[in-house]
């Protein structure tokens, strides 16, 4: 007895025999993103305003990573602290575009801390004063001792710290040539509104 397969059934059997099981898709790894201080600050500022409508920043600082040493004024990780006078609280935020840390990419944050508007070390500032970015501050710092350090050590890390300076009554960049803001070879202060050199020290 001859057996005949219906055309449709034969086609299904052919496909079943010839097809391979689906291979698992590999996750897409985004390339690292490095940004200037103002760009990172604005990303966190939007999120902080969602926490409290009157939130204002009082400190911005870059973080060193294995894939970013801050030489061009851009970094893969930035941290900012914001304060709310109505809530009498402060809150730290982190923006990350780096693949070299365990920090989640994008904007993340931690819990609240107490805040007093009279505390001079947490003096909030208006973002309108931030007219000169971290790369501008670096160029000024290079002219006041920074270039010599980079010439001597191509791997010299550079950290950026932005905060209000009471003595000069201005928003300033601290361009820090060192592994941390407490252990460094040179720190150059630059006016964040004008880009003018203020002073340098070790």
The model's pTM is 0.84
**Phi, psi for residue 63 in degrees, rounded to 5:** -125, 140
User: Tell me: the pLDDT tens digits for 58-105?
Assistant: 999 999 999 899 999 999 999 999 999 999 999 999 999 998 888 899
The answer to whether position 32 is within a domain reads no
Asked if residue 144 lies in contact with residue 202, where contact means CB atoms within 8 angstroms, the answer is no
Angle at 94 between CA 89 and CA 100, to 5 degrees: 155
Q: Identify the three-state secondary structure at position 142.
A: helix
Q: Which domain holds residue 132?
A: 37-201
27's tokens: 């996750």
**How long a stretch of residues is the chain?**
202
The answer to whether position 195 is within a domain reads yes
The answer to whether position 25 is within a domain reads no
| Residue 18: predicted pLDDT | 46
10: pLDDT strictly greater than 50: no
Q: In the Cβ-directed half-sphere of 105, how many Cα atoms lie within 13 Å? A: 11
Taken in order 113, 192, 136, 185, the sign of the CA dihedral is negative
| Residue 48: predicted pLDDT | 98
Angle at 36 between CA 32 and CA 39, to 5 degrees: 95
Alpha-carbon 83 to chain mean position: 18
Q: In the Cβ-directed half-sphere of 82, how many Cα atoms lie within 13 Å? A: 27
Q: Following DSSP, what letter does each residue of 89-122 receive, concatenated?
A: EEEEEEEE--SSSSSPSEEEE---EE--TT-GGG
Q: Identify the three-state secondary structure at position 2.
A: coil
The answer to whether position 16 is within a domain reads no
Asked if residue 175 lies in contact with residue 182, where contact means CB atoms within 8 angstroms, the answer is no
88's tokens: 């009498």
The answer to whether position 119 is within a domain reads yes
Number of separate domains in the chain: 1
User: Tell me: the pLDDT tens digits for 20-71?
Assistant: 556 666 667 789 999 999 999 999 999 999 999 999 999 999 999 998 999 9
The answer to whether position 77 is within a domain reads yes
Percent of the chain past pLDDT 90, that is, above it, reads 77
Find where tokens 């400190």 sit: 59
């Amino acid at each position: 007895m001859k057996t005949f397969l219906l055309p449709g059934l034969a086609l299904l059997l052919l496909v079943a025999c010839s097809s391979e099981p689906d291979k698992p898709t590999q996750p897409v790894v985004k390339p690292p993103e490095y940004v200037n201080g103002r760009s990172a600050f604005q990303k966190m500022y939007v999120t902080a305003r969602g926490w409290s409508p009157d939130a204002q920043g009082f400190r911005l600082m870059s973080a060193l990573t294995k894939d970013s040493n801050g030489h061009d004024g851009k970094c893969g990780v930035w941290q900012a602290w914001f304060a709310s006078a109505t809530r009498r609280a402060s809150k730290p935020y982190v923006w990350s575009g780096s693949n070299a840390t365990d920090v989640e990419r994008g904007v993340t944050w931690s819990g609240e801390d107490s805040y007093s508007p009279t505390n001079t070390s947490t003096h909030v500032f208006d973002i309108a004063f931030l007219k000169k970015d971290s790369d501008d501050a670096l160029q000024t710092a290079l002219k006041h001792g920074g270039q010599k350090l980079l010439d001597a050590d191509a791997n010299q890390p550079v950290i950026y710290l932005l905060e209000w300076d009471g003595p000069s009554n201005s928003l300033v960049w601290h361009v820090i040539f060192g592994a941390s803001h407490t252990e460094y070879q040179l720190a150059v202060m630059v006016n964040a509104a004008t880009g003018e050199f203020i002073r340098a020290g070790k």
